[in-house]
C-alpha cells in the first residue's frame, strides 16, 4: 500500500525549488521522541513506508507512531531509450519535499534506548541525514 493522495488538482507537477529551511513542522507535536531532517531532499513513498515498517517492527507493537510527512508531489519519468521531446512523461511515483528541520516521524510510549534504536533503523531507510530529538532537547 503506497502512500499517495486520493485526488489531486493536477496530474503532473513541476519540479519546484527546495531552497531554505522548513518553517512549519519543526517541533515535536504529538509524541515524546522525533526524527528530524538535517538535509533537503525528496523522500519517496517507498522510503517512508520502509522507515515506518522498521520503526514498528523494532517497537514490537508497543507505543504509537506518527508519520509527519506525506508524499503529495507526483514525479514523472519518460520510458527508457525514448527520444527527446514528445511531451512530459507519465507520473511514476510520489514524493514528499523534506527541507532542513522537518520532523519526519514521532513516537511515544516506549523507553529512550528503544526509541533511539528504532529511529536509527528508520533513518537508515531514508535519503536524508537525520537526528534524534526529544521533547527535552531544544530543537
pLDDT tens track for 25-77? 999 999 999 999 999 999 999 999 999 999 999 999 899 999 999 999 999 99
Burial (CB count <10 Å: 0-12, 13-18, 19+), residue 23: exposed
The 10s digit of each residue's pLDDT in 111-120 is 999 999 999 9
Domains, the chain: 33-76+91-134 (3.90.1170.10)
Q: Nearest to residue 115, comparing CAs of 46, 64, 68? A: 64
Q: What is the value of pTM for the model shown?
A: 0.91
Q: What grid cell was written down for 28?
A: 515535536
The predicted structure's pLDDT at residue 73: 96
Contacts for 112 with CB less than 8 Å, ≥ 6 apart: 33, 134
Cross-strand bridge partners of residue 98: 41
Contacts for 90 with CB less than 8 Å, ≥ 6 apart: 76, 77
Amino acid at each position: 500500500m503506497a502512500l499517495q493522495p486520493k485526488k489531486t488538482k493536477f496530474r503532473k507537477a513541476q519540479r519546484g525549488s527546495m531552497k531554505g529551511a522548513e518553517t512549519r513542522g519543526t517541533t515535536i507535536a504529538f509524541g515524546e521522541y522525533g526524527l528530524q531532517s538535517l538535509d533537503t531532499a525528496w523522500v519517496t513513498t517507498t522510503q517512508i513506508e520502509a522507515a515506518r515498517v522498521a520503526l514498528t517492527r523494532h517497537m514490537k507493537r508497543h507505543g504509537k507512531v506518527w508519520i509527519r510527512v506525506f508524499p503529495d508531489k507526483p514525479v514523472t519519468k519518460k520510458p527508457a531509450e525514448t527520444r527527446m521531446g514528445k511531451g512530459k512523461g507519465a507520473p511514476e511515483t510520489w514524493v514528499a519535499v523534506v527541507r532542513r528541520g522537518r520532523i519526519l516521524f514521532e513516537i511515544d510510549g516506549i523507553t529512550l534506548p528503544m526509541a533511539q534504536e528504532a529511529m536509527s533503523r528508520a533513518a537508515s531507510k531514508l535519503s536524508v541525514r537525520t537526528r534524534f530529538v526529544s521533547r527535552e532537547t531544544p530543537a
